[in-house]
Chains A and B, each alone.
Chain A
Amino acid sequence: MVTLVLPRLVDVSAASRRSASVTERNVAALRSVYWLLLVSGFVEPLLYLLSIGVGVGALIGDLTLPSGAVVTYAAFVAPAMLASSAMTGALAETTFNFFGKMKYMKLYDGVIATPVQPFEIALGELAWAMLRGSAYSAAFLVVMVVMDLTTPVRALAAFPAAVLVGFAFGAVGMAISTFMRSWQDFDLMSSAQFVLFLFSGTFVPAEAYPAVLRWLVEVTPLYRAVHLIRALTVDTGGWSWTLDVLYLLAVLTAGLLIASRRMGRLLYK
């Protein structure tokens, strides 16, 4: 991935070592309360699953997917909760925390005075966000298996997909952060995030929407992420999810390219 994105880079091992040192800093910064906050991060999607998936699900009964598969409402909602929590987790780390480190703590002004370069900072921060996000995803998949919403084999297949979703949103978040001017701008972002969360085929199939809205929804990254994970965990057959993988890979590459270029411009004044 590194060489693909940055062909100029010759010494991959030195670069990944430097990226790792940025990740390491975040591990060192883990303190009591923050730890608790971090570890408890996985309960949120679980609460949504229990409330909407099980609670509201009792009012709904079963759903028929476009492929013809009939699933419980909880099984329908669960993959969407996994995808959107991967999104939320990645964005929290790469927007809020990243922006704070760049703008307010001036952390990276110190880092760029060392051999570490802006794109290595970006990769290091992204790796950290993914470490965190992957742990949540794994925990949630275990819950899905325990609740009999998917099979262990499918859960294993869905894990790398969830990691990819996190990576893609993490890269986008980092790119967005480089354009942010103040904390106020983040209100807009979290509103946009909430809109995606509500309408990306998360709680009802996108097929239920009017045609125009449906097409709009289907090109958003969260919809693709939900579609991908739903296909792997509950749906039957079909290869349409490979398109989602390509889409997310493209988003990831674009996000990383924009982020490292913009960071270079912001930091190397």
Chain B
Amino acid sequence: MNTGRPLIQARGLVKRFGDFTAVDGIDVEVSAGEAFGFLGPNGAGKSSTMRMVGCTSPPSGGKLRILGMDPVRDGPAIRARLGVCPQLDNLDPELTVRENLTTYARYFGIPRRVARARATELLDFVQLSDRADSKVEPLSGGMKRRLTIARALVNEPDIVLLDEPTTGLDPQARHLVWERLFRLKQQGVTLVLTTHYMDEAEQLCDRLVVMDGGRIVAEGSPRALIERHATREVVELRFAAESQEAFAGKLDALGERVEVLPDRILVYVPDGDATVAEVAALGLHPTNVLVRRSSLEDVFLHLTGRTLVD
């Protein structure tokens, strides 16, 4: 694989729907072997970006090169080397689990014999071998998702695009998906994913951009982003009052930064336990105290003043 040139290169990329600008001039580069993430709340422009990268949505402006080619002119050639796992599963309800993979392989011009072998291999990889001849309908959400991921791998793609791969799954199903994706990453497959779960981004992404309102507000590795935009620890305080606001003023001096949410106050500090002691010394008695490490959630809160999942 060519490691010198970026696989995905976007400059000032724009997507408009009528008057609405979904993606407002973003610059992105993804190189081979990377796991790259778009983190942001619903409506940040992640899915629109993914569809443009997937060559199923023509850009409204800016420059976009995928695998060194032009997505509008060379759509089929690019898509031949992409694997796409869309936000909503669009599996074929009239086919069995296995047929979903073999027919999809045929869209890529993969010979029947190869398609069958590949399907068996992939069903094993996503742990669906025992459901191979079942219809899609009775599968659980997590199984459908894994099947969609297997389908995205049927053409041995250079880049796999995953749009919110675990949204709507229960915790157990999510971990199973993460584990499979992590395996892919280890095999050197280039992953591009969107998510509004910070834990997902932290687990899977080498590098990510934080998107808000169609723009990129920060970029870096999860660790670098946390170091740059948050402190090492966070103290979460909850007071038994109508409004947390009244207490915020008294806490200002304790941390580098204080964020007031409707139901709690976050104090950003290098050493959480020390701060808890200081709070008690001030004569304040929160009903609930939690000390934790800073996460991407805190980065996002700092950058946009809003929480990721609302």
A and B, direct touch (CB closer than 8 Å): yes
Query: Which of B17, B76, B84, B106 meets A25, CB within 8 Å?
Result: B106
**In the complex, which of the residues A17, A105, A114 has the most CB atoms of chain B within 10 Å of its own CB atom?**
A114
Which stretch (B52-60, B200-208, B252-260) binds chain A? B52-60
Name the A residues within 8 Å of B93 (CB-CB): 105
User: CA separation between A201 and B87, bound complex, in Å?
Assistant: 51
Q: Is the CB of B57 within 8 A of A29?
A: no
Residue in contact with B88 in the complex, picked from A21, A106, A112, A116, CB distance below 8 Å: A106
Q: How far is the CA of A105 from the CA of B58 in the complex (A)?
A: 23
Q: Which residues of A contact B106 (CB under 8 A)?
A: 21, 24-25
Which of A28, A107, A114 interacts with B79 by CB under 8 Å? A114
Q: How many chain B residues touch the partner (CB < 8 A)?
A: 31
Q: Are A115 and B77 in contact (CB under 8 A)?
A: yes
Residue B276 lies at the interface, judged by CB distance under 8 Å to chain A: no
Q: Which residue in chain A gives the minimum CB-CB distance to B154?
A: A114
Across the interface, name the chain A residue whose C-beta is closest to B151: A110
Inter-chain CA distance A204–B268, complex, in Å, is 87
Cβ contact within 8 Å between A24 and B76: no
Flag if A107 contacts B77 (CB, 8 Å): no
B82 at the interface (CB under 8 A from A): yes
Indicate with 1 or 0, residue by residue over B107-119, a CB within 8 angstroms of chain A CB atoms.
1110000000000
A111 within 8 A of B: yes
The contact string, 1 if C-beta is below 8 Å from chain A, for chain B 70-89, is 00000111011010101010
Determine which of A14, A21, A267 lies in contact with B56 in the assembled complex, contact meaning CB atoms within 8 Å. A267
Bound Cα distance from A269 to B26, whole angstroms = 19
Contact with A along B87-114 (1 / 0, CB 8 A): 0101111110001001110111100000
CB of B51 within 8 Å of the partner chain:
yes
Give A146 Cβ to nearest chain B Cβ, in Å: 36
Within 94-130 of A, Cβ neighbours of B (below 8 Å) are at: 105-107, 109-117
Within 8 Å CB of A105, what residues of B?
A: 90, 92-94
How many positions in chain A have a CB within 8 Å of any CB in the partner chain?
Answer: 25
Chain B residues within 8 Å of A24, by CB: 103, 106
Smallest CB separation, A7 vs chain B (Å): 16
Cβ 8 A contact of A107, one of B51, B58, B86, B92: B92
> Does any Cβ of B come within 8 Å of A268's Cβ?
yes
Smallest beta-carbon distance B50→chain A, Å: 10
B16-30 vs A, Cβ < 8 Å mask (1 yes, 0 no): 010000000000000
| Complex Cα gap A201–B90 (Å) | 44
Contact partners of A114 in chain B: CB under 8 A = 79-80, 104, 107-108, 155
Within 8 A of B (CB), among A20-39: 21-22, 24-25, 28-29, 31
Q: For A132, list chain B residues within 8 Å (CB).
A: none
Residues of A within 8 A of B17 (CB): 269
| A24-B103, A28-B103 as given contacts; A115 in contact with B90, CB under 8 Å | no
Query: A29 to chain B: which residues have CB within 8 Å?
Result: 92, 94-95, 99
Most buried by A among B90, B95, B151: B90
The reply on A262 being an interface residue by CB < 8 A is no
Q: How far is the CA of A18 from the CA of B94 in the complex (A)?
A: 20
Q: Tell me the B4-57 residues at the A interface (CB within 8 Å).
A: 17, 51, 54, 56-57
Q: Find chain B residues with CB under 8 A from A112 CB.
A: 56
Residues A115 and B51 in contact in the complex (CB < 8 Å), given A25-B103, A29-B92: no
Cβ–Cβ contact A115 & B92, under 8 A: no
Chain B residues, Cβ within 8 Å of A31: 94
A110 near B109 with CB under 8 A, answer no
Q: Please name all residues of chain A whose beta carbon is closer than 8 Å to the beta carbon of B107 when the two chains form the complex.
A: 18, 21-22, 111, 114-116
Q: Cβ of A110 and Cβ of B92 under 8 Å apart?
A: yes
A116-B84 Cα distance, complex, nearest whole Å? 14
Find the B residue at minimum CB distance from A11: B76
Q: Tell me the nearest residue of chain A to B83, going by C-beta.
A: A113
Q: Do B76 and A117 touch across chains, with their CB atoms under 8 A apart?
A: yes
**Structural contact, B92 and A113, CB atoms closer than 8 A:** no
Q: Which of B17, B84, B109 has most chain A Cβ within 10 Å?
A: B109
Partner of A17, one of B79, B109, B151: B109
**Contact residues in B for A14 (Cβ distance below 8 Å):** 76, 109
In the assembled complex, the Cα of A29 lies from the Cα of B94 at a distance in Å of: 6
Known: A17-B109, A115-B76. 7 other contacts (CB 8 A): A25-B106, A29-B94, A29-B95, A110-B86, A110-B92, A110-B151, A113-B56
